Structure formats: C-alpha cells, structure tokens
Structure 1
Amino acid sequence: MSAELMVWREPEPIPRDRARAAYLATKKTRPAEGPVPAYAKELPGQVTIFQDHVLVTMDMDSMDEMSTQVFAIARAHGLACYDPQRDLVHNLAPLGVYEGMQLHTGDGMIVTDPDLGLVRDTLATLSPQNPFVALVVFGHHFIQVAPGYELEYKEGTLRSTMVDDLAEVQRAFHEYATGARDFLSRNVWT
C-alpha cells in the first residue's frame, strides 16, 4: 500500500477544496515528458512529473518520515504541498511568529513552520486515529489538545482546561501561533 503527496508552485495560499481538485485533475492526466525540475531531484520516494505538479509516492511504512522531508523541501523551494491521505494543504503563508515552531499530530505528521490554515485544518482531524495536535516551540512553550478538547499549555508550568468546541480550540491555537495569549484569560486552568 502506498501514499502520495503533491507539490507545485502556487502564487498565493490555496484552500483545501482547490488543492484537492488540482490533485484529482492531475491524477487523470498523463505524466509529462521532458526536463525534471531541479527541486524534484531532492524529493524522496518515487517522483512522477506532470505538467505543473509533481507527485511523490511512498510506502505507508515510511510515510511519516518521508512526508516530513517532502514538506521541508517544498517549503524551501516555495511550493505548496497537498496531502490527500489527510486532506490537508501546506501553504507558504501566513505563518506564526515563532520561527522553527513545529506542528505535531498523533497520526505522525510533523511540520516545521506550518501555515496558520494548516494548523486550523489539522485541528479538525482530531479523532481516535489522530489523538492529539500540538504546536511546539522547543525549549520555550507548547500548546496541545486531545479529542474531547482537553487543552494543555506549558510555559514553565503545565496548565490544563476543557473547552467546549473546536472553534475555541482553533482560536486558542491561532492566538498561540501569533504570539497572543488571550486564550489564557478566557479559560479556567488547573
């Protein structure tokens, strides 16, 4: 069994529905002949070149490790990346304020410097198959959430609270990523 990621140049952030449509349209076309883009030579896995897109195929056993590499290479070359397994798109912007911040999920995804849309959309994937989402600024602080919306924040001491809905979790993660701490005063922490 295999998994795929698609990378391509996109002039501005693209929503998931358009990224999904581009992926499905690409899958219906034939691979292109001709020169291979320089960045494609850096991508791990099996690379297939299409007119404007590159598909990276990998086996499921190495998906987590290889996906992390593909996300980093795509970002370094100014490319968008679509993950059809998770139905998530990795845009180049807008980013949070912490350089090197990492997004971690319970299903194995790790993204350095995730765009804010990816953070929002990833939070909607919380489930028994994806039991947590965390934003981490190593050596400083983190915020994480588990299904049922148990929110934890650590900067010195660990604080925990329960929130009512996904929208509040997404708001708290957005504030954290952008350097705001309003979520601390809106909730009762233990």
Structure 2
Amino acid sequence: MVWDEPVPISRDQARATYLAVKRTPPGTGTAPDVAKELPGEVTLYPGHVLVSMDLDTMDELSAQVFTVARAHGLVCYDPQRDLVHNVAPLGVYEGMQLHTGDGMVVHDPDLGLIHDVLGTMSAQNPFVALVNFGQHFLQVSPGFELEYKEGNLVRAMVAELEEVRQAFNEYATGERGFLSRHQWA
C-alpha cells in the first residue's frame, strides 16, 4: 500500500494504517495520482493505493512499487513482509542496495527499513546485506556472523541483534566504529 506521510512512520503505524484503510470501501474519495504508474493490480482507496500481486512476481513487482513510491515521496507498506519503506532518513551511499535471502532488493533503503529487516532473519531469510557495488559490503547471517568486504573479506561473530543493527547503521551512515569494536578474522 502506498500513501503520503509528512514524516517517517514506524512499522506498527504503517500496519495500523493499512488495516484501517482495508476496512473502508475501495474506490471512494481521491487516491494519489501515482496509481497509474504502479505495476500489478491496483485498488484505489481515499488517499491510498493498494497494489496486489501474486507470489511468483512479488519480489520484482515490489521493487518497482518501492521505486515509484520513493520517486513520489510516498510511504510504502509491504503487508506480506510487514515492512515499511519511508522516504528518509537514508544512508550516505547513493545507490546502496539492501538484499535479503528471501529475495527482496531495495535501492537506497531508509535506515528504519534496514533496522526492521535485520529482525526478519530466519531459515526462510538466511542473510541480509548492504551492498555498494564495486566498493564494499556488509552482510550478516543467522547466528550473527558479520562479513565485511572492502578489499579483503573479514568475518566477526557478534552476540546480539542490537550489535548487528548498530553495525549496519554505522555502515549505512558512513561511520566505521563497527570495525574497531569487533574482532575480525
């Protein structure tokens, strides 16, 4: 679902908005003009656009929806993954990509999305990576094994998800404190 928000919102707020809008009848009121640019089956709600897609094309179409929403400065909520894509705040690397083991790819992800995605690692989502192609990347897998590559590939084990989230936030914002805090091999 895509809509306008004046400030970044939490996943809980996005979920609540999505559920509230779904309880209203579609096709009433005005919907954002962006609806004609969105792929998939589009249902209009007052101030909101719902994009439906099948599971076979979900990853590809979701990436297109995120890109269109971002271009228009709109929030995008993915109810399948229970993730919200805000317009900001972004990391410092233009073109950075967020990749997940369950097939999601997001260009220029917001910092809140990165934080939330890290909590979704599981057997069905076996890694999360932030990639700056041709430069460096940071990746984590369940068990919290961090891998960082900028020239040589190094690995470190961390104990807690919050440590992983801090490392990913630092990486995305151009800080490198995570490199000195952990023992890399």
TM over 0.5: yes
When the two chains are superposed, the root-mean-square deviation of aligned CA atoms in Å is: 1.0
The residue aligned with 2:173 is 178
Identical-pair percentage: 70
Residue in structure 1 matched with residue 2 of structure 2 by the alignment = 7
Question: What CA distance in whole angstroms lies between the structure 2 residues aligned with 1:92 and 1:154?
Answer: 27
Cα shift at 1:163: 0.4
Q: Deviations over 1:106-147 (max 9, x none)?
A: 011111010000000000001001000000001100000000
User: How far apart are residue 85 of structure 1 and its match?
Assistant: 1.1
Structure 2 residue 64 is the aligned partner of structure 1 residue 69: yes
> What do the CA deviations read for 1:82-103 (whole angstroms, capped 9, x no partner)?
0111111000111000001000
Deviation at 1:35, TM superposition (A): 6.2
Kindly provide the amino acid, as one letter, of the partner of residue 100 in structure 2: T
Rounded Cα–Cα distance in structure 1 between residues aligned with 2:58 and 2:34: 19
Q: Name the residue aligned to 1:134.
A: 129
- Structure 1: runs of 5 or more not aligned: 1-5
Q: How far apart in 2 are the matches of 1:37 and 1:129?
A: 34
**Paired letter, 2:106:** V
Structure 2 partner of 1:78: 73
Residue number in structure 2 paired with 1:143: 138
Q: Report the AA paired with residue 127 of structure 1.
A: S
Q: TM-score, normalised by structure 2?
A: 0.98
Deviation for aligned residue 1:34: 6.5
Paired positions, count: 185
Amino acid at match of 2:80: Q
Report whether the alignment pairs 1:94 with 2:108. no
Partner of 1:154: 149
Q: How does 1:8-47 map to 2 (within 5 A)?
A: 8-33=3-28, 37-47=32-42
Letter of the structure 1 residue corresponding to residue 170 of structure 2: E
State the match for 1:187 in structure 2. Answer: 182
Normalised by the size of structure 1, how large is the TM-score? 0.95
